[in-house]
Structure 1
């Protein structure tokens, strides 16, 4: 199966994830964003998934509607994203998956409101402990099979 050179690539998907992130941070629906851009909510979904590329003029308008500079949509893009696959130490896929989930956005918003560093570290330790316990349970379940 050959890759369509005119189709969306990793950068298109990154831009889409940044659109989704900003829209969710503003508690804006896909329908509302689509109305502001003059497109359907289905088109907004395609932009956010990176299925369809966002043209320069539409991206500029999107920046105005979402109250961010166009550069916001490209923050975090690195040269490694344009290469097939990611380097072993690259955390980009994990971060993207987290931000794509509604729980991830809600958790990030709530966590950002906590200013006490000790509290933030305790929350991080709690999450790490819960994740380790879940991994141990999954490993035990797999060993039983």
Structure 2
């Protein structure tokens, strides 16, 4: 990528292509990530920079990993490997991302253990 504008354009095109492959309208995708369809248009045309958190939301809404949105020449191999290792090579769903965000907001270590124990119990039943 020669400049930042090229990167936004590449990512926007990937978002558009993936959205169309999944037969989603811009409005459908916008609803999934809680923005307007006009904002999705701006992302797809590379007119607006996308924050990392929004990029994560977009990837989850499209059912892909971040590596599907970022060009190979920009991706850091170590970072890609780390992300794949953390997720077992699977993309996280929007609900899984929400669950992680909520878990991180739990202030008490004791409460986090209780939540984990509860999740373990219900997942085994």
CA distance in 2, matches of 1:11, 1:67: 21
1:31 maps to which residue? 27
CA distance in 2, matches of 1:70, 1:18: 11
Report the Cα offset of residue 43 of structure 1: 0.3
Report the Cα offset of residue 78 of structure 1: 3.6
Please give the root-mean-square deviation of Cα atoms over the aligned residues, in Å. 1.7
Please point out which of 28, 47, 51 is paired with 1:55.
51
TM-score for both structures, normalised by structure 1: 0.47
| Residue aligned with 1:28, SS | coil
Kindly tell me the number of residue pairs found equivalent between the two proteins: 72
Q: Which consecutive residues of structure 2, in runs of 5 or more, have no partner in the other structure?
A: 75-125
Correspondences of 1:4-19 after superposition (within 5 Å): 9-19=5-15
CA distance in 2, matches of 1:28, 1:54: 20
Larger radius of gyration: 1
TM-score for both structures, normalised by structure 2: 0.54
CA distance in 1, matches of 2:33, 2:73: 28
Runs of 4+ in structure 1 off by over 4 angstroms are none
